[in-house]
Amino acid sequence: MNVLKNPFRGLLIVSLCLVFAAVSLAQEKRVKMKDLPAPVQKTVKEQSKGATIKGLSKEVEDGKTLYEVELAVSGHSKDVTMDSSGAVVEVEEQVQLSSLPEAVQTAIKQSAGSAPISMIESVVKGGTLQYYEIHIKKNGKKSEIKIGTDGKQIT
C-alpha cells in the first residue's frame, strides 16, 4: 500500500497517531517517592500522616505537571493532587451518603435512580468544598454524577 496514492488513508493514519499521542500524554504514570520533586515529597509526607500510601502518580494536564498520592485513611480513600511546588490543588475523599446534608442525599438518590452507587467523594479545591462526585454503574457502564453542595446536579 502506498500512502501517497491514497491521501485520505495517509491523513487517517496521521490523525490516529496524533490522537494516540494526545491520549498517552494525559494518562497517569506511576512513580516512586524518590522520583517526586522535594516540595511534592514534603506535601506527600504531611498529607499521609496517619494514612497508608496506596500509590503515587504523575500526570501532565493542560500543560501542567500534577502529582497525586492515593491514600487509605481510617478505612476510606483519599486522593490528594499537588502541583510541582507541592501546593495542594485538589482533594477527593470518600464519604458516606448518610454523612451528607439532606438536600445532597436526596439529589444523589434521585440522580442515581436505580443504578448502584459504588462510591461518593467530596471534591475540595482551593481549600473549599466544591461538589460531590458520585460513581455509579448504569447499564453495565461506569459513570459519574456531580452534585453541588446546594444539592443541584452539575452538568
pLDDT score of 13 more than 90: no
Give me the pLDDT at residue 28, please: 83
Domain residue spans in the chain?
1-28, 29-154
Give me the pLDDT at residue 155, please: 85
Give me the pLDDT at residue 12, please: 52
Residue 136 contacts by C-beta under 8 Å, 6 or more apart in sequence?
112, 115, 116, 117, 118, 142, 143, 144, 145
Give this prediction's pTM.
0.80
Above pLDDT 70, what percent of the chain? 83
Rounded Cα–Cα distance for residues 106 and 103 (Å): 5
Rounded Cα–Cα distance for residues 56 and 41 (Å): 10
**Amino acid at residue number 125:** K
Give me the pLDDT at residue 41, please: 97
Cβ 121 vs Cβ 95: under 8 Å: yes
Between 8 and 71, where is the model more confident?
71
- The 10s digit of each residue's pLDDT in 21-39 is 454 445 789 999 999 999 9
Residue 21 contacts by C-beta under 8 Å, 6 or more apart in sequence?
none
Give me the pLDDT at residue 82, please: 98
Between 16 and 56, where is the model more confident?
56
Give me the pLDDT at residue 138, please: 87
Pick from 111, 106, 113, 104: nearest CA to 132:
104
Least confident of 12-21, 45-54, 61-70, 81-90: 12-21
CATH 3.40.50.300 given to domain 29-154: no
